[in-house]
Chains A and B, each alone.
Chain A
Amino acid sequence: MRLTRYAVVALLVGIMALAQQASAAPSGPPVRIGSTLALTGPLAATGQVHKLVGDIYVEQLNARNGLLGRPVEWIVKDDQSKQDLARTLYEQLITVDKVDLLLGPYATGNILAAMAVAQRYNKMLIHHTFGIPSLATYDMQFPAWSLGPDPATTFPNTVLDALAASPKPPKTIAVVTSKFPSVQFVAMGAREVAKKRGLKEVLFLDWEFGNREFGPIAARIKDANPDFVWVGAIGLEGNQLLEAMKKIDYMPAEQFYMYPAPGPMVKAPEAKNALAATIFEEHAPFLNNPGAAEFVKTFNERAAKAGLADTAVETQAAASYTAWQILEAAVTATRSLDDKVLAQWLKTHTVDTIQGKLRFNGPSNYGDDLMRVKQVQNGRWVVVWPPEAAAPGAKLMVQ
């Protein structure tokens, strides 16, 4: 009886403690996290995705007691898609606003501009979608996009592995690419990888980013008649090439697009079975990763409410969320806001994120290449390779 009384008291105390913890509001001076985003200018469409993700994460973070028990304040400025302004605003965040921590801007050029400032002031910089790992030479920068240190080699191998496992492995390849830096260097790597794997290159050509005339490119591909086309496309270039090929009644047996605009491509009928790169899609096993399901649900709702063109979570939104997860993990584990302490911890630990476990102990602080191959199937994107990341029951479809 006496034991039961103690047990009840202990239980009540425990419940009260848990209740208190659950409802504890962060207190004290805020932890100030600074970043810029391309909220206006040519990169604004993606910049708005990162802004929405950041807003969601900070709300969630503050709802679970902030960082170190202190509220989190996110100071985000509009770099207008300009490198020089991004650089200037990071200097302001560090020397005037005196933020505690930094998060990166979007995209590669702006991240490099911000990285130079961070390096000058010995600030850690966690960034979302930096496309060229070899340029990330600062030892306190950490990528949230798990490309691996050499995506020009590893990722083409992933794609060709997927095709090799298909019922009709390609024997010939055409590589066509935009001269956009972050897709061009992977396309060049794909040529080398294909050659080493014994594929015969029947066509290579490139075009200037901003090109709108894809008819001649489509005709050249049709003439070459490859088994597989690697398209170094970014944004709407993929859709434009697909439309051009449709006009000449041509469809490659297999086709891969590096970084297409995911929404427009999945909606295009001619994109059936098209392949692309991703780090996250809205299905298992990704939804089993920590925080993924809740984030996807919230993002879908908020993106629709904000009027974003594409409300699905894929590479950009996932990398953005991952960056915040990395930051939170390091601060929580070290109970520190010291950049060097945080950086040292990240270099020696892995972080559970919605795209999987990330490590930062490789060249340029990159870890594993977690890029996946997804495919348009029945009007939706599904990951088809590698098998452990594939959607339940999904397999690579061939024409």
Chain B
Amino acid sequence: MHVVGLFAAVAIALAAVPFFGLPAFYETFLYLVFHWIVLATSWNILSGYSGYFSFGQGAFFGLGVYATATLAAHYRWPFLATLPMAAAAAAGLGLALGTVVFRVKQVRGELFALLTLAVTFVLATVILNTSIDGGPGVYLSAVSLPAIGRTPASTFYLLELGLAVATLAIAWWIARSRLGTGLFAIHDDEDVAEVLGVPTFRCKQVAFAIGCALAGAAGGIHALFVSYVTVAETFSITVPLTVVLMSVLGGTRHWAGPAVGAAVITIISYASTTGDHVLAGKAAVGVILIAVILFMPEGILGTLRPGRTRSKRQQGEVPQAVVPAGPGDQDFPRPAIQSSTTGARVLSLREVSKAFAGIKALDRVTLDVYRGEILGLLGPNGSGKSTLINVVSGYYSADAGSIVFDGQSIERWPPHRVARIGLARTYQIPRPFAHSSVLDNVVLTAMFGAPALSRRDALIEARRWLDFTGLASKANALPAELNLHQRKFLEFSRALASRPQLLLLDEVLSGLTPTEIDSAVGLIRRIRDQGTTIVLVEHLMRAVIALADRIAVLDQGSLIAEGMPDDVMAQAAVKAAYLGTAANVAG
């Protein structure tokens, strides 16, 4: 509320500026500041939050410029009526582009940046070589400006102020919304985000469309502001470069970071317009910017208010959940068998196959997992265990066969949809979202997993599972500050917060000390006691025997044994698969 109130107060105060009787220059200068705030902040909604650095902001801005210029100058549309069209045209281009590139996993990072830059050149070429411009530029002197303010300068000022306020409000809202949470997760690890339930494609599309629309609207206003638009000036490479620089300077993970960067750069850029030493002034500005970026790599706001501090503030609003949490069990008594093949099937695989470049990673695997059990999934390295988890969780699509989870065929579902119906997984090597706090890592799955909680409820849920796993005291830490044991438990917390029916644990015990293993085994047992079905992929035979109700063994992609642990381990095929590791089996 403090932010909202302060934001509203500043917006109202700025709206009153035209009534102070100041020289028009100040309104025009502030217009330029707002203009860059809109361009930088709108860029940041996709590129800053999700890490998809776009160099195409000039294209969306330029499309807005030419949409307004064409409609107003050639078709005599009222200026204000052109602005929604400018926004829609830019958003449409963004959506069309995103529909293609966001589906391709290879188009990330620098490839995405280059592709968006290429779109700018293509668009400029199209506009230059068609009747939209054709070469001479478009002059808007005949376009009348609506009298929103007392003077034309006031009108431009108020229009751009309104757009800047709307842009910042949208950026602020997104940063706190489900969409923003998903985008921040995409920034750190898109694959994991998808598997944990984030509809990554939709998140990127929505963010891109919103950002493009805002840039297009800014272009529409700017067309009349400069009154003469040319392709060379409009689609100049300096637009995207400036926008990126502003955002990085201010801090891309903060909703207001790009606005701060835009204001700083616009002001210092203006400061070097007078005097006889403009070149020296510009060089000094460049040196200052380099120094700031070198010594403040997270940007101004990122440095002043890092993620941990932000999480702590948010956390302060959250009621503390009271969940009894015990230490890990100190021994491994064999569990009483709580379920067996007589229970309800929660997961059924039938003839599931998956091959990579002709090598069969899974070969007609048929397997059932029953509600409430712990199924140990064993096999030597390369036997297909991790592939099986990836296929079941939707990360890989099966080449053949069917996968039924909770009565639904999921073999063609995207990972986030699988996660939403209660199927969660952990990673052998923990893959937390590096720039989010421990708490925020867990909050995400509560929001995007099966319960689909609001952020406020997700915070309560996340606290609960951090208590459960003993990580409550680390809630505000960044993942990098955790040891391996704690990061493994963070994986547990994250998976549990999605309230899974079935939890796929991929070698969660590897790399842990004996004491830590004891703790983890106790935790797994308590998870199952809460009613969660578990598939446990593990090399540590001692723990598997202690935990598993049943065991399935894979070898070279095929299921070679399935049944009670003692029976399975006694089978000759299993022993053969584990030849040379008999000592471990004996345990």
A-B contact count (CB 8 A): 98
Query: What residues of chain B lie closer than 8 Å to A83, measured between beta carbons?
Result: 226, 228, 233
Q: What B residues does A198 contact at CB under 8 A?
A: none
B282 and A40 contact, CB distance less than 8 A:
yes
Contact yes or no, B233 A109, CB < 8 A: yes
Question: Interface-forming stretch among B25-33, B76-84, B407-415, B439-447?
Answer: B25-33
- Chain A residues near B25 (CB, 8 Å)? 88, 91-92, 94-96
Q: Residues of B contacting A80 with CB < 8 Å?
A: 269, 273
Instruction: Enumerate chain A residues within 8 angstroms of B321, measured Cβ to Cβ.
Output: none
Q: Measured between C-beta atoms, what is the minimum distance from B287 to chain A in Å?
A: 15
Among the 9-residue stretches B53-61, B131-139, B167-175, B368-376, the one with 4 or more Cβ atoms under 8 Å from chain A is B131-139
- Having A85-B32, A112-B139, A208-B129, one finds 17 other A-B pairs with CB under 8 Å, namely A39-B279, A83-B226, A84-B32, A87-B28, A88-B28, A89-B273, A91-B23, A91-B24, A92-B29, A95-B25, A109-B226, A113-B226, A135-B139, A179-B135, A181-B137, A206-B135, A208-B231
In the assembled complex, which residues on chain A have CB atoms less than 8 Å from the CB atom of B23?
91-92, 95-96
- Which residues of A sit under 8 angstroms from B228, Cβ to Cβ? 83, 108-109, 112-113, 135
Considering the chains assembled together, what is the distance between the CA atoms of A33 and B269 in angstroms? 23
Given the contacts A84-B226, A96-B25, A116 and B141 also touching, CB distance less than 8 Å:
yes
How many Å from the CB of A235 to the closest CB on chain B?
Answer: 12
Q: Which residues of A contact B26 (CB under 8 A)?
A: 96
B485 CB within 8 Å of chain A = no
Residues of chain A within 8 A (CB-CB) of B151 are 120
Contacts A80-B273, A88-B32: A109 and B24 contacting too (C-beta < 8 A)?
no
Question: Which residues of A146-161 have CB atoms within 8 Å of chain B's CB atoms?
Answer: none
**Which residues of chain A come closer than 8 Å to B279, judged between CB atoms?**
39-40
* Shortest Cβ gap from B475 to chain A (Å): 47
A383 adjacent to chain B (CB < 8 Å):
no
Nearest A residue to B22 via CB reads A95
B551 to chain A, nearest CB (A): 68
Question: Which residues of the other chain, B, contact A185 by a CB distance below 8 angstroms?
Answer: 136
A209 to chain B, nearest CB (A): 6
Knowing A40-B279, A109-B230, say if A181 contacts B24 (CB, 8 Å): no
Q: B135's contact among A84, A88, A116, A181, by CB below 8 Å, is which?
A: A181
Q: How many residues of A contact B (CB 8 A)?
A: 36
- Whether the Cβ atoms of A137 and B141 lie closer than 8 Å is yes
CB-based nearest A residue for B278? A78
In-complex Cβ contact of B227 among A40, A78, A108, A116 (8 A): A116
- Report B306 CB to chain A, min CB distance, Å: 34
From known contacts A91-B24, A109-B233, infer whether A208 and B227 are also in contact, taking CB-CB under 8 Å.
no
Residues of A within 8 Å of B29, CB to CB, are: 88, 92
B135-150 near A? 1/0 per residue, CB < 8 Å = 1110101000000000
Of chain B, the residue at the smallest CB distance from A51 is: B276
Given the complex, which residues of B lie within 8 Å of A39, measured CB to CB? 278-279
Q: In the complex, what residues of A have CB within 8 A of residue B451's CB? A: none
Considering the chains assembled together, what is the distance between the CA atoms of A206 and B129 in angstroms?
10
Proximity bits, B267-298, A CB within 8 Å = 1, else 0 = 00110111000110010000000000000000
Name the interface residues of A87-135: CB closer than 8 Å to any CB of B: 87-89, 91-92, 94-96, 108-109, 112-113, 116, 120, 132, 135
Q: Chain A: residues with CB nearer than 8 A to chain B?
A: 36, 39-40, 77-80, 83-85, 87-89, 91-92, 94-96, 108-109, 112-113, 116, 120, 132, 135, 137, 179-181, 184-185, 206, 208-210
Assess A95 versus B233: contact at CB under 8 Å? Given A40-B282, A116-B141.
no
In whole angstroms, what is the CA distance A208 to B225 when docked?
A: 25
Chain B residues with CB under 8 Å of A210's CB are 232
User: Would you give the shortest CB distance from A355 to chain B, in whole angstroms?
Assistant: 26
Which residues of B sit under 8 angstroms from A78, Cβ to Cβ?
272-274, 278
B interface, CB within 8 angstroms of A:
23-26, 28-29, 31-32, 35, 125, 128-129, 134-137, 139, 141, 151-153, 222, 225-228, 230-233, 269-270, 272-274, 278-279, 282
Chain A residues with CB below 8 A from B233, complex form: 83, 109
In the bound complex, CA of A83 to CA of B233 (Å): 8
Our pick among A84, A135, A137, A208 for the contact of B125 (Cβ within 8 Å) is: A208
Interface of A: prevailing SS: helix
For B28, list chain A residues within 8 Å (CB). Answer: 87-88, 91-92
Which one of B31, B222, B231, B273 has the greatest number of beta carbons of chain A within 10 Å? B273
Chain A residues whose CB sits within 8 angstroms of the CB of B225 once the complex forms = 84, 87
Cβ–Cβ contact A132 & B272, under 8 A: no
Contacts of B125 in A (CB 8 A): 208
Cβ of B282: which chain A residues have Cβ within 8 Å of it? 40
Complex CA gap A275/B278 in Å reads: 36
Contact A40 B136 (CB under 8 A): no
Contacts of A40 in B (CB 8 A): 278-279, 282
Smallest CB–CB gap between B45 and chain A, Å?
23
Residues of B within 8 A of A84 (CB): 32, 35, 222, 225-226
* Nearest 8 interchain pairs by C-beta: A95-B23, A179-B135, A92-B25, A112-B228, A78-B278, A83-B226, A184-B135, A91-B25
Complex CA gap A181/B25 in Å reads 29
> What are 13 A-B interface contacts by the 8 Å CB criterion?
A78-B278, A85-B273, A88-B29, A89-B273, A91-B28, A92-B28, A94-B24, A96-B25, A116-B227, A184-B135, A206-B135, A208-B125, A208-B129
Cα distance, A84 to B230, chains bound together (Å)? 13
The chain B residue sitting closest to A113, CB to CB, is B226
In the bound assembly, the distance between CA atoms of A84 and B225 in angstroms comes to 7
Q: How many whole Å from B156's CB to the nearest CB in chain A?
A: 10
A177 to chain B, nearest CB (A): 8
Q: How far is B133's CA from A179's CA once the two chains are assembled, in angstroms?
A: 10
User: A132 vs B137: C-alpha distance in the bound complex, in angstroms?
Assistant: 11
Residues of A near B136 (CB, < 8 A) are 132, 181, 184-185
* Closest residue of B by beta carbon distance from A55: B276
Contacts of A206 in B (CB 8 A): 135
Considering residues B135, B274, B278, which has the most beta carbons from chain A within 10 angstroms of its beta carbon?
B135
Taking the closest CB of chain B, its distance from the CB of A134, in whole angstroms, is: 9
Please report the C-alpha to C-alpha distance between residue A190 and residue B139 in the assembled complex, in whole angstroms.
Answer: 22
Contacts of A179 in B (CB 8 A): 128-129, 134-135, 231
- Which residues of chain A come closer than 8 Å to B129, judged between CB atoms? 179, 208
A175 to B35, CA, bound (A): 41
- B128-A208 in contact (CB<8A): yes
Residue contact B226 to A91, C-beta cutoff 8 Å: no
Q: Give the residues in chain A near B153, CB-CB below 8 Å.
A: 91, 120
Min CB–CB distance A127 → chain B (angstroms): 13
Contact partners of B274 in chain A: CB under 8 A: 77-78
Within 8 Å CB of B141, what residues of A? 112, 116, 135, 137
Residues from chain A with a CB closer than 8 A to the CB of B139 are 112, 135
Set B135, B137, B226, B230: member contacting A87, Cβ < 8 A = B226
CA of A91 to CA of B225, assembled, Å: 12
**What's the minimum C-beta distance from A122 to chain B, rounded to whole angstroms?**
13
* Residues in chain B near residue A87, CB distance under 8 A: 28, 225-227
